[in-house]
């Protein structure tokens, strides 16, 4: 697809869109221009109707995204301006989280600060064995501002999240897997992410989207609230052509041919 992107690329492999962050000299750090490009790339990734999953990764093998571009923080002159920086970053991370298709972070190298926050906004995370991740903002006299203080505790619990946030230490792949920050640790994060994406999208696309919605919405309220959401969405998916095809295929012992309807 032809684009004017300067700091990332958007490619397609069969039914999977791949966004590759590309600022290698800055270890793929997120500056304002890149963040705006990412917001546009997220929209464009869904333009081909066949796309059913999205992978986000970084160029090279050193960094996924090594953080926000710290040099730009020197331009913050007031609490209001700092709040706007955080809200802008949070908005883009929320756009990742709200994607209607499954999203996978292929963590090929350092995922620090804003880089880990980007990975946390994805549904799933696949990490290379040599990669490192962390939220080191306190070492700069800052706190995570793109969602890290909120998404990490929801993923691994308050105590573990606070330990990482307050120490700012880097975590290796094995520990990240043990803590539940990532789903898989492999040699080639991008290739494994593609394999994972294809294992997901062989299933009913409507069901995948509604299952993701059920989990995301259900995490906000009480268990009873979540059960109501699940029941509502189950009712919706139970009336789809895909459900009828899935059941028919199961009974006939054949592979289903889902159409997303």
Q: What is the pLDDT of residue 137?
A: 95
CA 258, CA 252: separation in Å to the nearest integer?
15
CA 55, CA 13: separation in Å to the nearest integer?
10
The answer on pLDDT for 211 being more than 60 is yes
What are the domain boundaries of the chain? 8-201, 205-252
Q: What is the pLDDT of residue 3?
A: 64
How crowded is the C-beta side of 164, counted as CA atoms within 13 Å? 27
**Dihedral, CA atoms, 101, 148, 176, 43, nearest 10 degrees?**
20
Q: What is the pLDDT of residue 144?
A: 95
pTM, two decimal places: 0.93
- Summarize the confidence of residues 85-89 as an average pLDDT: 92
Q: Is 247 within 8 Å of 139 (Cβ atoms)?
A: no
Q: What is the mean pLDDT of the chain?
A: 93
Q: Which CATH class is domain 205-252?
A: mainly alpha
| Long-range Cβ contacts of 70-73 (<8 Å, 24+ apart) | 70/29, 70/140, 72/31, 72/32, 73/142
pLDDT digits (tens, 9 = 90+) for 177-188: 999 999 999 999
Q: Which of 37, 59, 117, 192 is catalytic?
A: 117
The answer on pLDDT for 175 being more than 90 is yes
Domain 8-201: CATH architecture, name and number where available: Alpha-Beta Complex (3.90)
Q: Which of 33, 81, 84, 137 is catalytic?
A: 137
pLDDT digits (tens, 9 = 90+) for 3-59: 679 999 999 998 999 999 999 999 999 999 999 999 999 999 999 999 999 999 999
pLDDT digits (tens, 9 = 90+) for 247-256: 898 899 888 8
The answer on pLDDT for 121 being more than 90 is yes
Residue 117: active-site member: yes
What 3 state SS string does 118-170 have? HHHHCCEEEEECCCEEECCHHHHCCCCCCCHHHHHHHHHCHHHHHHHHHHCCC
Q: What is the pLDDT of residue 226?
A: 94
Q: What is the pLDDT of residue 2?
A: 47
The answer on pLDDT for 156 being more than 70 is yes
The answer on pLDDT for 123 being more than 70 is yes
CA 145, CA 148: separation in Å to the nearest integer?
7
pLDDT digits (tens, 9 = 90+) for 223-234: 999 999 999 999
Question: How many beta carbons lie within 10 A of that of residue 13, not counting itself?
Answer: 12
Residue 137: active-site member: yes
């Amino acid at each position: 697809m032809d684009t004017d992107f300067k700091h990332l690329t958007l490619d397609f492999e069969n039914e999977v869109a791949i966004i590759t962050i590309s600022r290698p000299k800055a270890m793929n750090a997120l500056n304002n221009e890149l963040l705006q490009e990412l917001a546009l790339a997220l929209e464009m990734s869904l333009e081909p109707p066949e796309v059913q999953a999205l992978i986000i990764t970084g160029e090279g093998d050193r960094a996924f995204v090594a953080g926000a571009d710290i040099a730009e923080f020197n331009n913050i002159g007031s609490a209001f301006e700092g709040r706007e920086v955080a809200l802008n970053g949070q908005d883009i991370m929320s756009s990742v989280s709200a994607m209607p298709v499954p999203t996978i972070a292929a963590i090929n190298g350092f995922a620090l600060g804003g880089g880990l926050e980007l990975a946390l906004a994805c549904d799933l995370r696949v990490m290379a064995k040599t990669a490192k991740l962390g939220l080191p903002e306190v070492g700069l006299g800052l706190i995570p501002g793109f969602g890290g203080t909120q998404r990490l505790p929801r993923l691994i619990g308050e105590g573990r999240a606070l330990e990482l946030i307050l120490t700012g230490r880097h975590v290796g792949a094995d520990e990240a897997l043990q803590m539940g920050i990532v789903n898989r640790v492999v040699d080639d994060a991008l290739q494994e992410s593609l394999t994972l994406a294809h294992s997901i999208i062989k299933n009913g696309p409507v069901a995948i989207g509604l299952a993701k919605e059920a989990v995301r919405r259900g995490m906000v309220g009480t268990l009873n609230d979540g059960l109501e959401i699940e029941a509502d969405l189950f009712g919706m998916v139970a009336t789809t052509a895909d459900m009828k095809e899935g059941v028919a295929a199961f009974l006939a012992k054949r592979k289903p041919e889902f159409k997303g309807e």
